[in-house]
Amino acid sequence: MEIVVILIYSVSLFLIFAYSLMQLNLLFNYLKSKRKKDASPKFDFNNAAEIPVVTIQLPLFNELYVVERLLDKIATIKYPKDKLEIQVLDDSTDESVEITAKKIEELKNMGFDISHIRRIDRSGFKAGALKEGLEIAKGEYIAIFDADFLPEDDFLYQTIPFFKDEKIGVVQTRWGHLNRNYSTLTKIQAFALDAHFTLEQVGRNIGGHFINFNGTAGVWRKTCILDAGNWEGDTLTEDLDLSYRAQLKGWKFKFLENVVSPAELPMVISAAKSQQFRWNKGGAENFKKMKWKVLASKKTPLKTKIHGILHLLNSSMFVNVFIVGLLSIPMLYIKSSSPEYKPYFLATSFFILSTVLFFVSYWFTFKKVNGGGIKNFCKYVGHFFTFFSVAIGFSFHNSIAVLEGHLGKKSAFIRTPKFNVNSIKDSWRGNKYLRKKLSFSVIIEGLLMLYFLFGIFSAFKLMDFGLLPFYLMSFLGFGFVFVNSLRTAS
């Protein structure tokens, strides 16, 4: 039994280390991008003949709190009205439908070409709505915004010119965070997303590897969508799916790190969990769907294939983190009772390098957004270990999502409740879309909190403090998730 535990623990440690090496390679690419001048061809918008027709798609489902704010913001986007179409793809089933319809009439009276597109059913969920809208879209380019996004008024002038290059299929912008400092939860989410939108998206893009359209705050070339096979609703991350199909067909993606599209982060843990579940399960579903297509692609370089497979396996890292955490306490007792394994345990200490590599890599992304200096570095250290702790706390919940994805268990597209930013800490409590029911997984997270408290006790009992920091972060992480889940359900 000891050998089985050691073997599983070792494999998970190695996979985490391999992932950290990929992050290091992306860091090198990211730093290289800072020395490279962008010489991309662009449309000349001083020439009216070069300004193309654009369709903005706004997929909605029960967005009572943010739909008016969204439409007001879209109305401020600078672009010739005769070259702009707005499609409100509204699958809503509540009173927000009437609010949306009234607002659309206001914009029509202001001269906007805007339509309210309703479907009989939600087949295909967001992918189905986007596909139906695409059938009648007038634009050569399709900009997409989720309901919680507030794009800057020059968004189209910042993005559309890059489509001068006929190989470009997508232009994606970086997400900003309207409520970054609302709470510890929003700070952690902002930290993680900043790493994705700087280190990972820029690193992959500059290295010529596959990146993904992030579902919103980006623009597609209509012919790229159609050439890649159009939107499909067989995974929970239709954006990742279409992105890979498009790039395997030879289309290029352009990521604009310096064009920021502000959005709202989930402010309560149940909303963050529903979003995390969808993203992580969808990632696993796409690995299952796309892995052989990536590996069999004759036009794709080997290095890009490796990055692509690891990218599709992003969410699966939560399974490895959870396994390492769960087995770390039995490993402590094996180490104490079996001195013959001493050389093995000395060797595994090498894998602390994984944490060092993540720490170094994320510092550069944090510095990009927040600035450098000693003060910000000290701030970063606190953010990193808070993020690391809560990521461990999410590992059980996200592992369930990943396993469901790999096993092919289907589930509905559960939208993330939007709140409309408010500085009052408990302003979320009146949100009608929040689910108050306490799931069984929350009980498991409470037990895992106690499990790692036992780990802390064991470290002192056995006088072996090598894993004590990990046990402490795991205890705090699961405690954070458990307590906040109880608070949301109350």
Give catalytic status of residue 241 as yes or no.
no
**Catalytic residue, candidates 90, 91, 148, 241:** 91
Give catalytic status of residue 426 as yes or no.
no
Hunting for tokens 């469901």 — which residue is that?
Answer: 404
Contact (Cβ atoms closer than 8 angstroms) between residue 174 and residue 202: no
**Catalytic residue, candidates 90, 146, 194, 239:** 239
Nearest to 331 by CA among 12, 19, 21, 16: 12
- Per-residue burial over 313-348, b if 16 or more Cβ lie within 10 Å, else e, is bbbbbbbbbbbbbbbbbebbebbeeeeebeeebeeb
> Catalytic residue positions?
91, 239
